Structure 1
Amino acid sequence: AGPTFEYADALIRLSPDDADFVDVLHTYTRGSPDRSIGIQKPVGHIDIYPNGGGFQPGCNLGEALRLIAEKGFADVDQLVKCSHERSIHLFIDSLLYEEKPSMAYRCNTKEAFEKGLCLSCRKNRCNNLGYKVNRVRTKRNTKMYLKTRAQMPYKVFHYQVKIHFLGKTNTTKTNQPFLISLYGTLDESENIAFTLPEVSSNKTFSFLIYTEVDIGDLLMLKLQWEKDTFFSWSDWWT
Structure 2
Amino acid sequence: MFISTCLFILVMLYVSPNNVDAGILDPFNWARSDNIEIASLPFIPWLPFENETRCYDELGCLNITRSWFHLINRPLNIFPLPRFVINTRFILYTRANPNEGAAIRPNSESLTDTIFQSEKKTKVIIHGFIDTILANWVKDMKDELLKHDDVNVILVDWAGGSLPLYTQATANTRLVALELAYLLNYLIENLDMKAEDVHLIGHSLGAHLAGYTGSLVPNLGRITGLDPAEPYFQGMPPHVRLDPSDANLVDVIHTDGKGILLLGYGMSQPCGHFDFYPNNGKEQPGCEIAQTPLIPLTVIKKGLEEASRVLVACNHIRSIKLFIDSIGSQCPYIAHQCSSYKDFMNGKCFICKPGTTQCTIMGYHLDSSPMFEETDISKRQFVETIGSKYYLNTGKENPFCHRTYRISIELAKPSIAETWVQGFLKAFILSPNGIMQIDLTPSGDVKLEHGTTYTTVVTHPADLGGNIKKIEMNWEYDMNVLEPRTLCLLWCNDHLYIKKVYIDEMEFPSRE
1:19 matched residue in structure 2:
247
Q: Does 1:100 align with 2:347?
A: no
Identical residues among aligned pairs (%): 28
State the Cα distance separating 1:207 from its structure 2 match. 0.5
Q: 2:400 aligns with which of 147, 150, 154?
A: 154
Q: Does 1:172 align with 2:420?
A: yes
Judge which range, 78-87 or 11-20, deviates more: 78-87
The residue identity in structure 1 corresponding to 2:384 is K
Between structure 1 and structure 2, the one with the greater Rg is 2
Q: Which runs of 5+ in 2 are unaligned?
A: 1-228, 300-304, 480-486, 499-512
1:227 matched residue in structure 2:
477
State the Cα distance separating 1:217 from its structure 2 match. 0.6
Q: Is residue 309–residue 317 contact of structure 2 (8 Å, CA) maintained in 1? A: no
Q: 1-side partners of 2:351 and 2:239: how far apart?
A: 34
Q: 1:124 aligns with which of 357, 364, 389?
A: 357
State the Cα distance separating 1:69 from its structure 2 match. 9.2
Relative contact order: is structure 1 or structure 2 higher (C-alpha 8 Å, sep ≥ 6)?
1
Q: Which runs of 5+ in 1 are unaligned?
A: none
The alignment of Structure 1 onto Structure 2 pairs a total of residues equal to 234
Q: 2-side partners of 1:34 and 1:4: how far apart?
A: 16
Matches within 5 A, 1:207-226: 207-219=456-468, 220-226=470-476
The residue identity in structure 1 corresponding to 2:440 is F
State the Cα distance separating 1:30 from its structure 2 match. 2.3
In structure 2, the CA distance between the partners of 1:121 and 1:226, relative to structure 1 (3 Å rule), is same
Aligned-partner SS, 1:100:
coil
Q: Is residue 335–residue 360 contact of structure 2 (8 Å, CA) maintained in 1? A: yes
The residue identity in structure 1 corresponding to 2:463 is D
- Superimposed CA distance per residue, residues 54-94 of structure 1 (whole angstroms, 9 cap, x where no aligned partner): 211211122124327987xx966633311111111111111
- Superimposed CA distance per residue, residues 19-39 of structure 1 (whole angstroms, 9 cap, x where no aligned partner): 111000000112588864211
Aligned-partner SS, 1:225:
strand
In structure 2, the CA distance between the partners of 1:234 and 1:7, relative to structure 1 (3 Å rule), is closer
State the Cα distance separating 1:12 from its structure 2 match. 0.5
Aligned-partner SS, 2:257:
coil
In structure 2, the CA distance between the partners of 1:165 and 1:84, relative to structure 1 (3 Å rule), is same
Q: Does 1:60 align with 2:309?
A: no
In structure 2, the CA distance between the partners of 1:226 and 1:35, relative to structure 1 (3 Å rule), is same
Q: Is residue 119–residue 158 contact of structure 1 (8 Å, CA) maintained in 2? A: no
Q: Is residue 189–residue 213 contact of structure 1 (8 Å, CA) maintained in 2? A: no
Aligned-partner SS, 2:255:
coil
Matches within 5 A, 1:65-76: 65-67=293-295
TM-score (norm 2): 0.41
Judge which range, 228-237 or 192-201, deviates more: 228-237
In structure 2, the CA distance between the partners of 1:234 and 1:35, relative to structure 1 (3 Å rule), is closer
Q: 2-side partners of 1:234 and 1:198: how far apart?
A: 12
The residue identity in structure 1 corresponding to 2:389 is K
**Bigger proportion of residues as strand:** 1
The residue identity in structure 2 corresponding to 1:133 is L
State the Cα distance separating 1:41 from its structure 2 match. 1.7
State the Cα distance separating 1:210 from its structure 2 match. 1.3
Q: 1:191 aligns with which of 434, 437, 441?
A: 437
In structure 2, the CA distance between the partners of 1:218 and 1:160, relative to structure 1 (3 Å rule), is farther
Matches within 5 A, 1:39-58: 39-58=267-286
Q: Is residue 331–residue 403 contact of structure 2 (8 Å, CA) maintained in 1? A: no
Aligned-partner SS, 2:426:
strand
The residue identity in structure 1 corresponding to 2:476 is E
Judge which range, 114-123 or 153-162, deviates more: 114-123
- Superimposed CA distance per residue, residues 178-222 of structure 1 (whole angstroms, 9 cap, x where no aligned partner): 1112234x5244322232532122221111121111011153332
2:164 matched residue in structure 1:
none
Aligned-partner SS, 2:478:
coil
Aligned-partner SS, 1:91:
helix
Q: 2-side partners of 1:70 and 1:16: how far apart?
A: 37
2:343 matched residue in structure 1:
112
Aligned-partner SS, 1:3:
coil
